[in-house]
């Protein structure tokens, strides 16, 4: 019998995941389907019951359910329990196991380029859900020093506390303050949603060190102002779509227990822009 998968969230019609996973099924001739399923805030429990009834094999979770979904899991992978949010579920005969593939998704483009985080000086802008997965990745790869800069200081402080618990040397900064000392950083990451609506980059990149890597996790539009400004300064950039692809290929591997067809998935994703 064919397998069925979904991504749940609200809004969901803009999601690129159905395209990415369907391309993988086509490439490998798998008898599987993947749909976007809108579940509004407050309706998660009944939505999950519905998915269990149709014996869904697995699903991704996006805004606004990544944290609340934790309540409905029977089992948790370490990735999910450490980060405290779930973006991938495997349904094993009604037993739901949660994973968080954002961390591996974030790290994958760095590994692909042979960029090591170990002992590096990192600036992380933003302190939301995605930033938590990134911090877990930093801890796993033993970053040297992590500066967290966020609009709301309290959120930065809470994330710094989490980073410290995971063993990272961490400071919080105002975004403008970090921008003034930009030459200090080996890797600068934008994990805010700034850019989604074509807003100006939170960082000017004035005086940036030529060796600095600029990583934007916003994936639509592909060329955010952050990416454009970094490119103007001739910095190496990592695009948000690469992390999106990284988390999708990892989810594919959890569900299908085989290597994901990266290139076919990438082609489908880039066709979406
Ligand atoms: N590429 C991928 O695979 C991937 C994966 C996950 C997420 N993302 C993207 O990452 C972004 C963040 O996602 P999330 O789940 O972490 O969201 P979230 O939990 O809502 O966090 C949003 C973050 O953006 C900041 N922010 C929002 N608007 C801002 C503004 N106008 N000025 C300054 N800061 C602002 C928030 O700061 P405050 O604390 O001050 O509110 C917070 O740090 C989204 O664009 C999402 O699409 C990409």
**pTM for the predicted model, two decimal places:** 0.95
Domain segments of the chain as ranges: 3-100+243-271, 103-238
Distance 90 CA to ligand 1 centre (A): 26
Distance 196 CA to ligand 1 centre (A): 9
Distance 95 CA to ligand 1 centre (A): 31
What is the per-residue pLDDT for 56? 98
What is the per-residue pLDDT for 254? 98
For ligand 1, mutation pick of 107, 126, 137, 269 (most atoms within 8 Å of CB): 126
DSSP codes of every residue in the chain: --EEEEEEESS-TT-SHHHHHHHHHHHHT--EEEEEEE--TT-HHHHHHHHHHTT--EEEE-TT-TTGGGGG-SEE-HHHHHHT--SEEEEETTEEEEE--HHHHHHHHHHHTT---BT-EEEEE--SHHHHHHHHHHHHTTBSEEEEE-SSHHHHHHHHHHHHHTT--EEEE-HHHHHHTGGG-SEEEE-SSTTTT-PPPS---TT--TT-EEEE---SSSS-HHHHHHHHTT-EEE-HHHHHHHHHHHHHHHHHSS---HHHHHHHHHHT-
Q: Is 229 designated active site?
A: no
> Are 3-100+243-271 and 103-238 in the same CATH fold?
yes
What is the per-residue pLDDT for 120? 98
3-100+243-271 sits in which CATH class? alpha beta
What is the per-residue pLDDT for 271? 87
CATH architecture of 103-238: 3-Layer(aba) Sandwich (3.40)
What is the per-residue pLDDT for 1? 76
Q: What is the mean pLDDT of each run of 10 residues along the chain (273 residues)?
A: 95 95 97 98 97 98 95 97 96 97 97 97 96 97 98 97 98 96 96 96 94 96 97 97 98 98 96 76
Ligand 1 site, residue 201, Cβ cutoff 6 A: no
């Amino acid at each position: 019998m064919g397998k069925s998968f979904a991504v749940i969230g609200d809004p969901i019609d803009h999601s690129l995941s159905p395209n990415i996973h369907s391309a993988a099924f086509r490439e490998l001739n798998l008898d599987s389907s993947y749909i976007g399923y809108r579940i509004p805030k407050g309706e998660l429990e009944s939505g999950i019951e519905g998915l269990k009834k149709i014996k869904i094999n697995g699903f991704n979770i996006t805004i606004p359910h990544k944290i609340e979904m934790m309540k409905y899991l029977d089992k948790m992978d370490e990735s999910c329990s450490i980060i405290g949010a779930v973006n991938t579920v495997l349904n094993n005969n009604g037993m739901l196991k949660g994973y968080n593939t954002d961390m591996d998704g974030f790290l994958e483009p760095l590994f692909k380029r042979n960029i090591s985080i170990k002992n590096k000086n990192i600036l992380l802008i933003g302190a939301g859900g995605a930033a938590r997965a990134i911090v877990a990745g930093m801890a796993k790869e033993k970053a040297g020093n992590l500066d967290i800069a966020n609009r709301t200081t309290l959120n930065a402080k809470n994330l710094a506390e989490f980073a410290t618990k995971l063993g990272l040397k961490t400071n919080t900064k105002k975004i403008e303050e970090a921008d003034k000392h930009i030459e200090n950083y080996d890797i600068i990451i934008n994990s805010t949603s700034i850019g989604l609506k074509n807003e100006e980059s939170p960082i000017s990149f004035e005086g940036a060190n030529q060796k600095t890597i600029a990583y934007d996790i916003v994936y639509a539009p592909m060329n955010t102002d952050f990416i454009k400004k970094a490119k103007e300064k001739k910095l190496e950039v990592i695009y948000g779509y690469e992390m999106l692809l990284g988390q999708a290929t990892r989810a594919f591997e959890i569900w299908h227990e085989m290597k994901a067809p990266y290139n076919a998935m990438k082609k489908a994703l880039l066709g979406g822009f």
